């Protein structure tokens, strides 16, 4: 049998290993110089004044909600087509996630669906940039300005993506990036908040560190905080990963191009990812859509697995998770575009090191399964 092809894997090289080992040798495993350096260089890379390193993307999202003053009785508008953390963080602070349906092409929140969801309780729009490309920010910013709403970005899947030449993570009051091993760069577990506001920066620094005051008196707690600190080994890994981020994104782009090239011939069976004309895509995942709606996607996943190819439904719509259905009474049909994309989409193996011949093999196997589906 052929080698197994996983969905994703991080690129860990000698420089990453030696950077982490060097931290271990110093004995300073937390609260040292590395996370500070990582924050500085990350902010510089994205183009914001400040950044705060945190223990995960989810932790970062939680803190941006707290720092924005969002709490019980408030509503936050966000996308149902996302990883569950972007809606959960709204629940963490006792507020209500209100979904607005997405754009059929990109899977990002549809600006035309936002205004009808605004009520007196709406405080913010949590914009998710899904799969590696930016949401359509100009109309969203206009709506936010008109209704005096804050913008917070979940940029966890789209580091370095640009909208009309402007980088995601720079549009709102704050933004969050994530470094789980399947993302474009990794720290193991880890995340980063970016902001241009000194006030938000100071609040997030304090909240991530048990609510300590910014003169760092160890036992002075000025507010209810958390332990969302990023350890020094992770920060050291973040620094070496950041150094090769552009290289890693160009490699991901190459793999995506191979896929799209091979699939072009089979347009009636699978749709390849669409990139909005104002976006540059930084490729978190490679997700195709199965066009024939008689095909049961989960059966395709099983058949691919028999050929050594891992694949996943990507993503299920958040409002249809049991917990959300029970709590908010959502039913199938509430967000038809998101649900349609959820039904059709299939994430294929996608990582640096995947060879052109692997991509060809995956494409051939998938097309074979789809062509012979009826038989």
Ligand X SMILES: *Cc1c(COP(=O)(O)O)cnc(C)c1O
For residues 137 and 363, which CB has a smaller minimum distance to ligand X in the complex? 137
Give the shortest CB-215-to-ligand X separation in angstroms.
Answer: 30
Which residue is catalytic, options 34, 45, 150, 183? 183
Are β-strands 345-348 and 286-290 bridged in parallel, bridged antiparallel, or unpaired? antiparallel
Quick note: the x/- pattern for ligand X over 87-116, rule CB under 6 A, is: ------------------------------
Residue 66's Cβ-side half-sphere holds a number of Cα atoms within 13 Å equal to 21
Q: Which of 48, 64, 82, 240 binds ligand X (CB under 6 A)?
A: 82
Site size for ligand X (CB under 6 A): 14
CA nearest 194: which of 348, 40, 10, 368? 40
Q: Is position 56 an interface residue for ligand X (rule: CB under 6 A)?
A: yes
CB 20 within 8 A of CB 237: yes
Q: Which of 10, 57, 169, 225 binds ligand X (CB under 6 A)?
A: 57
Are β-strands 270-271 and 50-54 bridged in parallel, bridged antiparallel, or unpaired? unpaired
Q: Which of 53, 178, 239, 347 binds ligand X (CB under 6 A)?
A: 178
Question: Can you tell me the distance from the alpha carbon of 356 to that of 349, in angstroms, rounded to the nearest whole number?
Answer: 12
CA distances from 78 to 82, 99, 148, 289 (A): 9, 5, 16, 23
183 assigned to active site? yes
Q: Is position 154 an interface residue for ligand X (rule: CB under 6 A)?
A: yes
Q: Is position 85 an interface residue for ligand X (rule: CB under 6 A)?
A: yes
Give the shortest CB-157-to-ligand X separation in angstroms.
Answer: 4
- Cβ-proximal residue to ligand X, closest one: 57
Q: Is position 83 an interface residue for ligand X (rule: CB under 6 A)?
A: yes
Give the shortest CB-58-to-ligand X separation in angstroms.
Answer: 3
Residues 182-211 that bind ligand X (CB under 6 A): 191
Give the shortest CB-98-to-ligand X separation in angstroms.
Answer: 17
CA distances from 145 to 59, 114, 125, 170 (A): 27, 13, 11, 16
Q: Is position 86 an interface residue for ligand X (rule: CB under 6 A)?
A: yes
CB atoms within 10 A of CB 22: 12
Q: Is position 180 an interface residue for ligand X (rule: CB under 6 A)?
A: yes
Count of all residues that appear for the chain in the document: 375
Give the shortest CB-155-to-ligand X separation in angstroms.
Answer: 9
Question: Can you tell me the distance from the alpha carbon of 49 to that of 54, in angstroms, rounded to the nearest whole number?
Answer: 17
Residues 297-316 that bind ligand X (CB under 6 A): none
Question: Can you tell me the distance from the alpha carbon of 78 to that of 353, in angstroms, rounded to the nearest whole number?
Answer: 34
Q: Identify the three-state secondary structure at position 375.
A: coil
Q: Which residues neighbour 299 within 8 Å (Cβ) at sequence distance 6 or greater?
A: none
Contacts with ligand X by CB under 6 A lie at 56-58, 82-83, 85-86, 128, 154, 156-157, 178, 180, 191
Provide the annotated active-site residues. Answer: 183
């Amino acid at each position: 049998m052929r080698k197994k092809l996983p969905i994703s894997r991080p690129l860990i090289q000698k420089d990453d290993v030696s950077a982490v080992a060097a931290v271990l040798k110093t004995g300073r495993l937390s609260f040292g110089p590395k996370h500070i350096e990582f924050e500085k260089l990350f902010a510089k890379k994205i183009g914001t004044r400040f950044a705060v390193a945190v223990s995960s993307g989810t932790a970062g999202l939680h803190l941006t909600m707290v720092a924005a003053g969002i709490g019980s009785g408030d509503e936050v508008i966000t996308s149902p087509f996302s990883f569950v953390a972007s809606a959960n963080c709204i629940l963490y602070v006792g507020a209500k996630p209100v979904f607005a349906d997405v754009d059929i092409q990109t899977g990002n929140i549809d600006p035309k669906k936002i205004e009808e969801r605004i009520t007196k309780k709406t405080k913010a729009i949590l914009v998710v940039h899904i799969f590696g490309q930016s949401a359509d920010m100009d109309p969203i910013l206009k709506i936010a300005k008109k209704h005096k709403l804050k913008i917070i970005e979940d940029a966890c899947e789209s580091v370095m993506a640009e909208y009309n030449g402007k980088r995601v993570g720079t549009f709102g009051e704050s933004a969050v990036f994530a470094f789980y091993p399947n993302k474009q760069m990794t720290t193991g577990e880890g995340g980063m908040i970016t902001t241009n506001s000194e006030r938000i920066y100071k609040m997030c620094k304090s909240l991530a560190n048990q609510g300590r005051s910014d003169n760092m008196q160890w036992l002075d707690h000025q507010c209810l905080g958390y332990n969302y600190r990023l350890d020094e080994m992770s920060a050291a890994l973040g620094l070496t990963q950041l150094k090769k981020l552009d290289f890693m994104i160009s490699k991901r782009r190459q793999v995506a191009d191979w896929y799209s090239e091979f699939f072009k011939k089979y347009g009636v069976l699978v749709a390849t990812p669409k990139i909005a004309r104002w976006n540059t895509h930084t490729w978190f995942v490679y997700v195709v859509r199965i066009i024939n709606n008689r095909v049961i996607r989960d059966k395709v996943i099983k058949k691919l697995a028999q050929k050594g190819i891992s694949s996943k439904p990507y993503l299920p719509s958040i409002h249809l998770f049991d917990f959300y259905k029970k709590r908010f009474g959502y039913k199938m049909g509430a967000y038809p575009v998101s649900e349609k994309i959820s039904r059709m989409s299939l994430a294929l193996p996608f990582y640096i090191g995947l060879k052109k011949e692997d991509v060809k093999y995956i494409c051939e196997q998938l097309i074979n399964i789809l062509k012979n589906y009826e038989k």
